[in-house]
Amino acid sequence: MTKSVLLTMGRLPKALDFARSFAALGWRVVVAEPYRTHLTGASNTVAKSVQTPPPCAGKLAYLSALQTIIEAEKIDLVLPLSEETMHVAHLRDHLPKTVQLFAPPTEQLLGLHHKALFQKRAAAHGLSVPDTAILGTKAAEKLAHTHNYVIKPVYSCSGRGVSLHRAGEALEKSQDLNPHEGAVVQRQLQGQQYSSFAITHQGKIQAHVIYRGIVMSGSVAVAFERVEQGAIEEWVNRFVAAEHYSGFISFDFFVDDQGLAQAIECNPRVTSGVHFMETEDLAPAILAPFSQQIRMKPAQRMQQFYPTLTEVQATMFKGPQFWSHLKILRTAKDVTWCARDPMPFVTMPITAFSIIAMSMREQRSFGQVSTQDISWFEGEELSPLSARLKSGGLHD
């Protein structure tokens, strides 16, 4: 009997990788997505796409919609991939025993996503992190007085609400921050910035990619290069083991001139590093951990073609930067293109039009607007969820 997987996000290329991987194993792929049209929905590997309300319109309504899909489509595996993971994880104890959810427990998940709590956990494991304090505390005032610093929301993603400040400048929230949203003050670091992505199981790493952005759209990399970085490799291995972590996990790092790696934040979800892994190896890594090696693609450089093209055009009159970006555009492998499944690449300007238009209208990066409706936010706590699910009243 054919099994079915539910991807809870379809708008970004990483969802397409997993859709193709599960379809290659003979699984039926269903996508739940707040946008009516989306990148992965154009794939010939997707059996069905179902539109849901976005989490930002109501957490309970979003989870209720997912439960309806799980029941109607006879889903065997629920696979959250991006920021919606923080919401979807709350279904863990409320799914039929026959349905698997690939996500860590919510307490661990949100503890790592929280910019201050993550720093405490990493430091407790003896790992290097920059000084971080909750905005509004004396510790934050002291940090801001003595060091250049960053302010960012406690659940920041894609650079939303992040602002850079000089030592001694007044502590003020970014206008992108909700006045009721918590924020942290973090010491600015110097050095080379890197990102990492890993697939893990019970404290052991199945595959790990370290990469750096080579073309940026705001604070989000749209073209990236795989690199080797021993200090980061060791840091991530120690953290995953200490947390006994299972699932997807990603970090952003700075490595200084002395080779010290410090993690500035954790993103317990899939990031662009997944594109360096062989697509057909992704589904087996979830279904049967360590049953086979996860191979890396030959390409050292990957790109999201259309956003990279936009950045190339934006640097047209900036001399060396333009030529550098143009070379990357011409030589880096696109993360979406597949000759056996061409329509996601061909139709991307159409399927992503809503996000593109919002980005232009609000003068914010594609990365920021593409996750704002699915990001975790404080408020509307889910404590009533258990009672409503147990009583069968979630759909009332």
CA gap 213, 91 in Å, rounded: 34
Q: What is the pLDDT of residue 392?
A: 46
**pLDDT score of 394 more than 60:** no
Percent with pLDDT over 90 in the chain: 79
- State the CB neighbour count (10 A cutoff) for residue 373: 19
- Give the pair of three-digit tokens for residue 325: 């970006």
* Arithmetic mean of pLDDT, 333-357: 93
> Between 267 and 172, whose confidence is greater?
267
Residue 155 makes CB contacts below 8 A (sequence gap 6+) with 86, 113, 114, 115, 181, 375, 376, 377, 378
329, 310 Cβ separation under 8 angstroms: no
State what percent of residues in the chain have pLDDT above 70.
94
Question: By C-alpha distance, which of 135, 173, 9, 86 is closest to 382?
Answer: 86
Closest CA to 348 of 304, 283, 294: 304
The string of pLDDT tens digits covering residues 105-119 is 999 999 999 999 999
**pLDDT confidence of residue 120:** 97
Nearest to 395 by CA among 32, 61, 73: 61
- Whether this prediction's pTM lies above 0.85 is answered by yes
Looking at residue 179, what is its pLDDT?
63
Average the pLDDT over each of 8-22, 55-69, 204-218, 376-390 and give the range with the smallest value: 376-390
The yes-or-no verdict on residue 281 having pLDDT over 90 is yes
Residues 207-219: b if buried by 16+ CB within 10 A, e if exposed: bbbbbebbbbbbb
Is a pLDDT exceeding 60 seen at residue 391? no
- pLDDT for 67 equals 96
Helix axes 305-314, 343-351, angle to 10 degrees: 60
- Please write the tens of the pLDDT for every residue from 77-104: 999 999 999 999 999 989 999 999 999 9
